[in-house]
Amino acid sequence: MHRTKLSAVIIIISIFFITEPSSASSWVNFPTSWDIGQAFAISITSTADYSQPMVTWMNRTIALNVEQGGAGKISYGLLGSDVRSIKPGNYKILFEFIQNGKKYRASGNIKLRARQYPKENLSVNPKMVNPPKKELKRIQNESAAIKSALKTMTVPRKWTTPPQPPLSVITLTSTYGKSRVYNGQPRAGHNGADIRAVTGTNVRAPFAGTVLLAGFHYYAGGSVYIDSGNGVITAFFHLSKILVKKGDTVTKGQVVAKSGATGRVTGPHLHYSLILGGQFVDPIPLLSTSITKMLKNGEPQQVN
Ligand SMILES: [Zn+2]
């Protein structure tokens, strides 16, 4: 560039910053395409403070936090889509926040791609495929309690990445997303990962949080659900022993239960689910990554 032109550009830029000292620049970050069933990271970041950051995805509005980082201030979120209910296609994501008394909205589309998850045939106790009539009420009540627990939306963020692996050795016996045929009858796909564990193995909380639900359920057996803020919930099934109760605060890595073989199982193992804004996603990839790395899959888009 010619020297005089360059000076002119510098002068114009300087004037802009001198005359607009309170202007803020903000961005949202999200991946424009992603696989169904896999977790992804989103963020809002700004050079100036803002409040009430929120993201709406799959009909759920998730409250975020404002923290130090990024361009100055940053809000982190983890989202995903449930392989059992979400079809490939374009889905809208909406970001909102308030800055200098003004409400900002930024929306975009995320193209969700199909992913081939394997199928598996399992043999279980017949009453776990077609439950006896006397158990139907119990199953209904448990399903209502779980549905309501999964609507929990709290701040602040208590989750930090990578999570604490729930067991000290992670050997998968069944992966997330498998469509399942029990005793020849098709049922909903696998909403988590099964990890090898002899009965009585310590199960650790992946994130700090609050126990949402703890008890023995018909299908899932001994179950613990932990809320870690911003719609991030983890759950363990088929436990032999539960060491926490609803409302307890847990720290990251705290032993919350002992693994077992209760509920609809073919043998002892730990079932681990990760639920993001109500969507059950594959919990395993997150064990070996961080929010910072995940955000690199996104494309920043300027809001102001
Ligand atoms: Zn499982």
CA of 272 to the centre of ligand 1 (A): 7
With a cut of 80, say whether residue 243 has pLDDT above it. Answer: yes
Q: How many helices (H) and strands (E) does the chain have?
A: 3, 24
Query: 134 and 256: one domain?
Result: yes
With a cut of 60, say whether residue 127 has pLDDT above it. Answer: yes
What pTM does this model have? 0.90
Per-residue confidence (pLDDT) for residue 21, from 0 to 100: 47
CA of 202 to the centre of ligand 1 (A): 17
DSSP one-letter string for 8-40:
HHHHHHHHHHHH-TT---EEEEE-SEEETT--E
Per-residue confidence (pLDDT) for residue 293, from 0 to 100: 98
Instruction: Give the domain extent around 157.
Output: 119-284
With a cut of 80, say whether residue 189 has pLDDT above it. Answer: yes
CA of 77 to the centre of ligand 1 (A): 25
Task: Give residue-wise pLDDT tens across range 271-280.
Answer: 999 999 999 9
Query: 124 and 110: one domain?
Result: no
Query: 64 and 198: one domain?
Result: no
Omega before 166 within 30 of 0, i.e. cis: no
CA of 176 to the centre of ligand 1 (A): 8
In the chain, how many domains are there?
Answer: 2
Per-residue confidence (pLDDT) for residue 227, from 0 to 100: 98
Average pLDDT, the chain: 92
Query: 294 and 279: one domain?
Result: no
pLDDT-wise least confident of 12-16, 150-154, 172-176: 12-16
> Does a structural domain hold residue 203?
yes
CA of 142 to the centre of ligand 1 (A): 17
CA of 163 to the centre of ligand 1 (A): 19
> Does a structural domain hold residue 246?
yes
pLDDT band at 7 (very low <50, low <70, confident <90, very high): low
CA of 55 to the centre of ligand 1 (A): 29
CA of 229 to the centre of ligand 1 (A): 24
